[in-house]
Structure 1
């Protein structure tokens, strides 16, 4: 008798392959440490900016270094936002390309969920912000994109603090959502927050970028060849008027993911990611947070006046409510209007926890605030307080939900570890996923 036909129903948040689970675990550990450093840097900046020595903090941020002839005489705060964040977006670009070329999300039916969730999690917060600021003055509407971003390091750090036993597919979903989110955010920055565009430097940037791409396609790893080309590309993009972090994503997309010859070992994209991620998570993002999060909580009418400003309110509600409703709503629509369904054993409470965690916006949200209102302005300070408060509320609410779900999954994880055999791979990952049902 012929076997029953396979059920092709896609499983949302289904179990991933063991190599993908192990890779996500490694990333989680690195980003958890980076998230803790990010939090420490932000708290230190807040404490210093609200201390009697606040003038010293602002003087440090305004120190100018760099060659003026090349228009790179930037303050330390600008170097952190324009230079160090390019490293962050380079790693994000590598991760995104790897996910869709060689990861489990190369299959469209698996990729559609985090992509749809990321789009929903950006659209609704933006609409909520606009609703709060549609009648405001002083260009408040220019900050519409502030609550649209999810911070990878911060969100994964929250998962690490929970000491989570949640299914790895949920972590994969959050990581991919945040990476897609960052890509959409950098597109928004390039299109909507480019005040002036100079085509000469932008066209010139194509030459070192093309040479960089040619070398990496030939699997060249020599830093003394690649780094000068990357810096030149960054400098020319910066001179063009496009935010320089765009160069990081563009360079990452030229790096090949797959090995030229099949065999053991990582591809070049994974090799670069492994080498550069500690620099991004441990140095670039915390230093940016240190210079970006130092906002006075007593200036401009005090904290009470800030929290009643439409900019701060729009950011807080956008992150806490808009992100959660957008991510959860988009996920429900995918399940409602396609054949996709949640994997067995997962509940909508799991998705609710992840949707709330997506509201932890920090790095890119602070960057967009500075681009929208100008660093150090009153509106920028209000947006920063909104980002900090909204991220904190989202993290607390997500922790409450995921803690409850964590207790549910602890027994499942213990069973999988007990069933591991001598090869170190849990037996459950050596079995084929159950996608068939009796006819």
Structure 2
């Protein structure tokens, strides 16, 4: 099992502190955690040979290739390699499936990650090295001069400048450059997914993904900004009038005619969760099915307990599972030193058993047991089965169906206006 960490392509680590192996390796699997470049080093995209873009994804590819070529020497099965990742890690795995590079793995687990999320791609910012250099003391309009200056600057200073300037670096649609290996050259709007054919995939989301993001920003932030307008503007090419009309449509669907107040926390959390994570994952399921994927196992993690990593870090006690909360039930983590209580241990045992069963058998519940008392049925053309993981396991169908139906209809009507990030 190869773990790819999240962190918005800006931060992250494969260290034991954030992805400790203790709980997973009990189940007779080999856990490999890889590092890859992030931020300006991993995802600056300038359309030039020196910085073509997607350096971090290429790091991942080389690490996966190394595992493919060498894992047998560690007792691993070269034909049972499962990639799993959360957030940007899940985004990355979906991008590996859409890349034209060699297929190096057999199964995939996408936790709150999808390549079709609006937060994944961005257009190349060819001024990025100039902005960083200027912040660090060099005024120039020459990209190459700025890059040479940055190459001689301590990485810590460059990262501090990235944070100070509030810069983001994400995957991009690369240009074809002679002599340069590319990773992805076609926007996700048009990309087929032939590598997912016959591949089992386990994927899903947390029911309150946006909860910690909302809490960190606070209600005043959402009063002053138009979350609906800003979100739609980042994904669709609407005119100004269309943007106002469409943002009002979303506002009325999620909030009615009420103004944004602290009492309307949950509609904002729901919209942010749907826009950023939940509906993109639904779209990914549809795309994978069109591409002839193997069994697709869909989940919703909604448990709130003593190992909800993100909520604990943000000092939040209400609601279900926030973004990244499931990680505390898969990994040992430095931030979670207390021994799990009985309820948390049960969720942890179920999660790690299902995840490792999937890696070993391509089926999270190959048999019904006392620990896993019901069969996890994969998605079919007719029924969108979903396993809700809470204090109990519940097999449902079409989670959040009204919200997802609204998004499906909206996207169907406006698909031609989706941004492709390949201009």
Shorter chain as denominator, the TM-score bin is under 0.3
Greater relative CO, 1 or 2 (CA 8 Å, sep 6+)? 1
Q: Which has the larger radius of gyration?
A: 1
Structure 2 length as normaliser, TM-score? 0.27
Higher helix share: 1
TM-score, normalization by structure 1: 0.26
